[in-house]
């Protein structure tokens, strides 16, 4: 018992233990900071790619809007065109844009509605979903193209091939 009390009263080595513990804690938080920084870099790179893709798709959608606005110029259309002829002309104009994933044109008594999915680059599966409405021939220069929808679009996630059995309820 006397030996034990003597060791407890002896404070030699306690400062070394504190320094070792401090170094271990500093190393732990240093590694934690490095892992966090690496994670932030990966996330910021993904975000930069997403932003670039978004604005490229927005640019391509602006080009589609511009080409549709261009065909509305006075003198391009005459009052003698039928709805089918109008649809054909607009379809040919839209086919000049390789970034359009798909489009739908509705013409009813010279009122035209165009819905299109416009990708940032040809071959991509996500992009801008736009819906435009206008009248041909243009009644006045001020009567422009109305934008009914202009939003980011991506296909729904495909769950085929993923094992979701861990989410199923079991009777226990």
Instruction: Work out the pLDDT band at 79, boundaries 50, 70, 90.
Output: low
How confident is the model at residue 156, as a pLDDT? 81
Q: Is residue 94 part of a domain?
A: yes
Q: Is residue 19 part of a domain?
A: no
The pLDDT tens digits of the residues spanning 7-31 come to: 556 667 788 889 999 999 999 999 9
Instruction: Work out the pLDDT band at 33, boundaries 50, 70, 90.
Output: very high
Q: Is residue 89 part of a domain?
A: yes
Q: Is residue 24 part of a domain?
A: no
Does the structure show a pLDDT above 80 at 165?
Answer: no
Beta carbons within 8 Å of 90's beta carbon, 6+ residues apart:
68, 71, 105, 107, 112, 114
More confident residue, 5 or 45: 45
d(CA 107, CA 132): 12
Q: Is residue 161 part of a domain?
A: no
Q: Is residue 160 part of a domain?
A: no
DSSP SS3 for 25: helix
Number of domains composing the chain: 1
Q: Is residue 18 part of a domain?
A: no
E strand or H helix at 26, and its extent? helix 14-71
- Angle, helices 14-71 vs 83-94, to 10°: value is 140
* Enclosing domain of residue 101: 43-153
Percent pLDDT > 70 in the chain is: 80
Instruction: Work out the pLDDT band at 138, boundaries 50, 70, 90.
Output: low
Q: Is residue 12 part of a domain?
A: no
């Amino acid at each position: 018992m006397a030996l034990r009390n003597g060791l407890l009263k002896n404070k030699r080595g306690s400062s070394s233990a504190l320094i070792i513990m401090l170094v271990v804690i500093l190393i732990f938080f240093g590694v934690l900071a490095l892992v966090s920084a690496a994670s932030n870099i990966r996330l910021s790179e993904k975000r930069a790619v997403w932003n670039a893709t978004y604005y490229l798709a927005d640019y391509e959608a602006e080009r589609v809007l511009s080409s549709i606005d261009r065909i509305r110029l006075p003198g391009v259309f005459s009052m003698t065109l039928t709805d089918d002829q109008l649809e054909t002309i607009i379809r040919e104009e839209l086919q000049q844009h390789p970034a359009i994933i798909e489009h739908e044109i509705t013409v009813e008594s010279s009122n035209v509605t165009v819905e299109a999915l416009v990708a940032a680059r040809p071959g991509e599966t996500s992009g801008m979903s736009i819906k435009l409405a206008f009248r041909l021939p243009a009644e006045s220069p001020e009567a422009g193209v109305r934008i009914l929808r202009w939003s980011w679009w991506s296909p729904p996630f495909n769950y085929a091939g993923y094992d979701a059995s861990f989410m199923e309820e079991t009777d226990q």
